[in-house]
Amino acid sequence: MNPPEPTITIQQLKSILEKDRNEVLLIDVRSKEEFETQHIPGAVNVPSNGIMEFANDASERDKTIVTICNHGGNRSQSAAQTLRDSGLKSSYLEGGTAGWYDEESTVPSIH
């Protein structure tokens, strides 16, 4: 995989997940309540106020991290930048969770 761009589209993410699910780590930076309401299968919840601690403790530095919020806005962009500043490969998902569910997802559920 090439070094990630700051953003990744839903179609790009689906393509990566279909090829090798272990290549990326999905980090949902919304609140616990938002995450529990709806999230992308396989995503891990790390609220934006905990992203710096996550970056410092990240054990999966070889993976590309994709940060996710509701619409691919400020929270996921800021989290992706924090992770990149910490030396991690990170992009944020354009369209966020809302965009993911607006499309009919063909990515298999990952548990």
Round to whole Å and give the CA distance between 101 and 99: 5
Burial of 69 (0-12, 13-18, 19+ CB in 10 A): buried
Of 26, 55, 65, 69, the active-site residue reads 69
Angstrom CA distances, 100 to 50, 59, 62, 77, stand at 23, 27, 25, 16
Decide: residue 72, CB within 10 A, 0-12 exposed, 13-18 middle, 19+ buried. Answer: buried
Residue 31 annotated as catalytic: no
Catalytic sites, residue numbers: 69
